[in-house]
Amino acid sequence: MLDATFIHAPTIGATTEQRLWQAGILSWSDYLRAAPSDLPLTAAQREILAPAVEHAAEALANDDDRYFARLLPMREHWRAVPHFMERIGFLDIETNGGYQPEDVTLIGVYDGYESRFFIKGRNLEDFSQEAERVRLWITFFGTGFDLPFLRRRFPKLPLDHLHVDLCPSLRKLGFKGGLKRVETQLGIHRRPEVDGMDGMDAVRLWSQYRRHNDEDALNLLITYNREDIENLSLLLAFTYPRLKAASGFPVGVTSLAGVDSASDSISS
């Protein structure tokens, strides 16, 4: 979908992009091969769009995610998902209930294959190295919570890569409420030991671990966070094709019943 995107160019909006798609211009290659008379654009728009397409194609060939993070509205970052699946990071943090940088207690990152956890007092600083690997973050309300917290906690990390916040994306599709409520609406189930837990339970478990050196409490907190980040991959697999269809791109929504991970089900 990223290589069918034209709204990154100045003055090119969704309506013009859809006119291009309707004219059969479904990729940058189509655009560059098309005769000017085949493009439903003004001369001024063609003059702007041609170099923008060439630069975007070069950026994608170089895996330059920041180029697209800068030029695409954040609500459209989902378009880059298939192209950066190998550098994806499903992200969720836990805190002790406070709002200061030092209040981050646990960071979970799932890459579609393996979940890794960074724990205060143990290996939290190693998150910096993990963040250098990621080119596309997937969160649920990360715009308002996770990423602002992490920017304060790790001020030297730019954290300026592509970011898909599934909370507003799912709201756009008609799903309201927090992560657990949306999971319930979609029939996504959690492990019995953490089913029904919420953020306050995460605060309580961290306190229990710190006060009593309770490894069972910490392990349960990790399990709770694991469910958060790994379920994000299921939500992304559900959301991506529907956002693609809602964009007006001439491709029908593919059924994703029974998907195991976003990396298995998302195509360009």
DSSP secondary structure letters along 190-231 = --TTTTT--HHHHHHHHHHHHHHT-HHHHHHHHHHHHHHHHH
DSSP state letter for 125: G
- Kindly report the number of other CB atoms within 10 A of residue 126's CB atom: 13
| Token output for 145 | 């919570």
The span from the CA of 166 to the CA of 141, in Å, is 7
Q: How confident is the model at residue 266 (pLDDT cuts 50, 70, 90)?
A: low
pLDDT of 31 reads 96
Q: Which residue has the tokens 């953020």?
A: 199
Q: Do the beta carbons of residue 50 and residue 61 sit within 8 Å?
A: no
User: Which residue matches tokens 């959301």?
Assistant: 239
With beta carbons less than 8 A apart as the criterion, state whether 67 and 59 touch: yes
pLDDT digits (tens, 9 = 90+) for 66-113: 999 999 999 999 999 999 999 999 999 999 999 999 999 999 999 999
Q: Give yes or no for a contact between 108 and 91, defined as CB atoms under 8 angstroms apart.
A: yes
Banded model confidence at residue 256, pLDDT cuts 50, 70, 90:
very low
Instruction: Indicate the domain borders of the chain.
Output: 2-62, 80-262
Token reading at 179: 């992560």
Residue 260 in this model has a pLDDT that exceeds 60:
no
Q: Which amino acid is at 256?
A: L
How far apart (Å, rounded) are the C-alpha atoms in residues 30 and 13?
18
Mean pLDDT of the 238-263 span: 68
Question: Sheet holding 136-139: strands in order across?
Answer: 115-119, 104-110, 88-95, 136-139, 162-165
pLDDT classification of 267: cutoffs 50, 70, 90: low
Could you report the per-residue pLDDT of 149-197, keeping only the tens digit for each?
Answer: 999 999 999 899 999 999 999 999 999 999 999 999 999 999 999 999 9
Check if the beta carbon of residue 244 is closer than 8 Å to that of residue 1. yes
pLDDT tens profile 203-241: 999 999 999 999 999 999 999 999 999 999 999 999 999
Q: Which of 19, 12, 24 lies closest to 248, judged by CA? A: 19
pLDDT of residue 242: 95
**Cβ contacts of residue 30 below 8 Å, gap of 6+?**
24
Measured distance CA(29)–CA(24) in Å, rounded: 11
Angstrom distance (rounded) from CA 106 to CA 211: 16
The CATH number of domain 80-262 is 3.30.420: yes
CA distance 251 to 22: 11
- Residues with Cβ < 8 Å from 166, sequence gap 6 or more? 138, 139, 140, 232, 235, 236, 239
> Given this model, what pLDDT does residue 51 score?
96
The β-bridge partners of 116 are 109
